[in-house]
A and B are shown apart, each in its own frame.
Chain A
């Protein structure tokens, strides 16, 4: 497909990116203890393999994968295991976590950071490296990356897509990486392409980042297998289904994986992490986090050691202008509100967003007037207005009948609803309960 890729539906919220987009990424070293929840990915929880009192080094595996769909956890600092106990996480749940006292030495395990030529590695070696590096989709879903890179048939993969859309408002971490480390993205993509001989690489970027498009286009000129795809700026352009459609014209639904449509999609920071683990012999120990919002004194981007508390992030950004009413891990559309700052940054924490006034409180809830805006906005072409009554009266059957399960909770319907109806919220609950019931059968 040529031209600018896009999809039907979607919204144009105020993107708030100007707050932090021009701030170069700063490296933030943690001060206090580091907390590693055993669940920071989709799948089975990881299992601790260290005991309280153990000495650990940077890059040392402290928990192993708890199943095929699971990811191991590596320490991002050197120090001593202080506790293994349930700690508060972003979702609001207490999750078993390994707590490490930082010795501020940053002593690494042997061989950490050595250059490595990926072309000399076998496919299996690359997959094992990615697996041992503890990489999971860093765009927010946290799907184990080595599982993604191991489809049923390598030769059936036609496209490897790097998701540079960053359609979520306020987030600028992917943007910064595309500006600061584009060569890592291109090499990382080449590493993935070396696994799939029939695949073409696509780096898909929204047209509100023309500098990235220009820079990376220039960079991939000599690369026969890689091209840059410009996408129209619109939320949720970076959602997997919409991204694949805009970049390749292929459609997938909730019952399919991208690989069923011959596609593999990875987020920018994930690709960089793949590059670093394969070519620089590192583990996933850091991620880029945007600290922003009107309540943050100096909005900016940090390269943060995983396990660092959100409180330290807010502090590093100059603290709060005034006591925020709401803090969110991630963007305003799909991020999760946290009731405390005493929560660790995980692989999937793309941002800390602080609002002086909770925007949700500003819009009253009034009766639905059937305006149809929710339907126009839905990227999955659903009719949220009809799904809501079914969700509210627990009519799962009817909900599924009008394809309610195709909703992936992007929040567009709730955003546009003039009546302030909690559409996405109701769908979330209904979808969870339907999935639970199915699992129990």
Chain B
């Protein structure tokens, strides 16, 4: 008898979108902001990004090998985690910071809980918060535009590795939000920060958060490729603005609100991290509540907390609520509870 044809249950066709293409799209979308970060903060920023990515990929590879789990990092999700982690670090950190962060993100946050799809927090953000708590000083020394002149000797590199570029150059600057937070009561926000600089990205901050323009280009790409929907980002930012008007203490000061929206990684967080599939609600109602809570928490952390930034903590806190949100927001099935007509 002739060989038999394949038999499987329908459907027999699949869309061309795979986990790998989604991760590739996210990585592509992060490139503009990363490039700008490197341009702005110099070679150290590049080193931080690369170290972070390599650490994440290696950590995943070695863990899977060690645990005899099938498959290589085929989905390239580790690259995205690594890139996001790097973008959430100041360019001035010593290189062991992204290494610790990468291992923490991949092993502790992701793999120990079952790997891809099972982590309950965004790995990159969880790692960032872990680093922020552990190494507060190093994690808040932000470099400002500096192409370090040909510091290429081995000793110097070693020094950079151990202590970070910040301590070498002694250049560091506060982020715009910190400036707003610490400014004198009489001053106006416009005197302290320049919106134009914030939009283009010429301010202090972590590598990937500063240029709103570059981030929005990346976000537009993700929307165009239908990788993310705008539901969470827009509700997040909208709720953030509303609560800022209520609690911000600056009244209806548009310049202040714009500065707060553009600063502190809100755009990076809203479009790239709050939309992380694994750690955001799957239902529409859940996503709406998620977005509103993110806005509220970010405002509370920023206005009443010690830090000028609050996006990371808001997101990882809301990540924890996701299973609950999903459980109680299952949509009503089509035609359910429908009235029988014609009887």
* Whole-angstrom distance between the Cβ of A234 and the nearest chain B Cβ: 14
Q: List 20 additional contacts besides A256-B338, A261-B340; criterion CB under 8 Å.
A: A13-B15, A153-B343, A157-B342, A158-B341, A252-B335, A253-B338, A256-B340, A261-B341, A326-B12, A333-B12, A340-B4, A341-B5, A369-B75, A381-B331, A381-B332, A383-B282, A383-B283, A386-B330, A411-B10, A419-B18
Assess the A360–B335 pair: CB atoms within 8 A. no
Per-position 1/0 for A315-339, Cβ under 8 A of B: 0000000001111101011111111
Q: Interface residue count for B (Cβ, 8 Å)?
A: 44
B74 on the interface (CB 8 Å rule)?
yes
Assess the B17–A416 pair: CB atoms within 8 A. yes
Assess the B333–A253 pair: CB atoms within 8 A. yes
Bound: A332/B8 CA distance, A: 11
Assess the B7–A256 pair: CB atoms within 8 A. no
* Whole-angstrom distance between the Cβ of A168 and the nearest chain B Cβ: 10
Given known contacts A381-B331, A402-B330, A250 and B341 CB-to-CB distance under 8 angstroms = yes
A414 on the interface (CB 8 Å rule)?
yes
Bound: A186/B58 CA distance, A: 67
Partner of B10, one of A259, A324, A334: A334
Partner of A335, one of B5, B10, B71, B74: B10
* Whole-angstrom distance between the Cβ of B111 and the nearest chain A Cβ: 12
B21 on the interface (CB 8 Å rule)?
yes
* Whole-angstrom distance between the Cβ of A407 and the nearest chain B Cβ: 9
A380 on the interface (CB 8 Å rule)?
yes
Interface residues of A in 143-190 (CB under 8 A from B): 152-153, 156-158, 169
* Whole-angstrom distance between the Cβ of A406 and the nearest chain B Cβ: 4
Assess the B7–A338 pair: CB atoms within 8 A. yes
B137 on the interface (CB 8 Å rule)?
no
Assess the B338–A252 pair: CB atoms within 8 A. yes
B22 on the interface (CB 8 Å rule)?
yes
Assess the B22–A366 pair: CB atoms within 8 A. no
8 A–B contacts, CB within 8 A, in A order: A158-B341, A335-B12, A338-B7, A370-B277, A402-B330, A403-B336, A418-B21, A420-B18
Main secondary structure of the interface of A (DSSP, over half): loop
* Whole-angstrom distance between the Cβ of A169 and the nearest chain B Cβ: 7
Contacts of A33 in B (CB 8 A): none
Bound: A334/B14 CA distance, A: 13
Assess the B15–A371 pair: CB atoms within 8 A. no
Assess the B343–A156 pair: CB atoms within 8 A. yes
* Whole-angstrom distance between the Cβ of A381 and the nearest chain B Cβ: 5
Bound: A150/B61 CA distance, A: 64
Report the nearest B residue to A358, measured CB to CB.
B6
Assess the A262–B22 pair: CB atoms within 8 A. no
* Whole-angstrom distance between the Cβ of A250 and the nearest chain B Cβ: 6
Contacts of A262 in B (CB 8 A): 341-342
Partner of B335, one of A92, A241, A359: A241
Partner of B14, one of A360, A370, A381: A360
Bound: A241/B334 CA distance, A: 9
Interface residues of B in 6-54 (CB under 8 A from A): 6-15, 17-22
Bound: A386/B329 CA distance, A: 12
Q: Interface residue count for A (Cβ, 8 Å)?
A: 80
* Whole-angstrom distance between the Cβ of A408 and the nearest chain B Cβ: 10
* Whole-angstrom distance between the Cβ of A159 and the nearest chain B Cβ: 10
Assess the A360–B6 pair: CB atoms within 8 A. yes
Contacts of B21 in A (CB 8 A): 418
Tell me how many residue pairs across A and B have CB atoms closer than 8 Å.
196
Bound: A406/B6 CA distance, A: 29
Assess the B19–A366 pair: CB atoms within 8 A. yes
Report the nearest B residue to A330, measured CB to CB.
B10
A197 on the interface (CB 8 Å rule)?
no
Per-position 1/0 for B272-300, Cβ under 8 A of A: 00000110101100000000000000000
Given known contacts A338-B5, A340-B4, A363 and B342 CB-to-CB distance under 8 angstroms = no
Per-position 1/0 for A383-417, Cβ under 8 A of B: 10110000000000000001100100101101111
Assess the A332–B282 pair: CB atoms within 8 A. no
Interface residues of A in 1-19 (CB under 8 A from B): 11, 13-14
Contacts of A416 in B (CB 8 A): 15, 17
Contacts of A337 in B (CB 8 A): 5-10, 12
Partner of B13, one of A241, A366, A381, A415: A415
Assess the A411–B335 pair: CB atoms within 8 A. no
Assess the A253–B22 pair: CB atoms within 8 A. no
A273 on the interface (CB 8 Å rule)?
no
Bound: A152/B341 CA distance, A: 13
Bound: A440/B69 CA distance, A: 42
Bound: A403/B6 CA distance, A: 32
* Whole-angstrom distance between the Cβ of A157 and the nearest chain B Cβ: 7
* Whole-angstrom distance between the Cβ of B24 and the nearest chain A Cβ: 11
Assess the B116–A367 pair: CB atoms within 8 A. yes
Contacts of A359 in B (CB 8 A): 12-14
Report the nearest B residue to A12, measured CB to CB.
B15
Contacts of B77 in A (CB 8 A): 369
Partner of A336, one of B10, B20, B334: B10
A302 on the interface (CB 8 Å rule)?
no
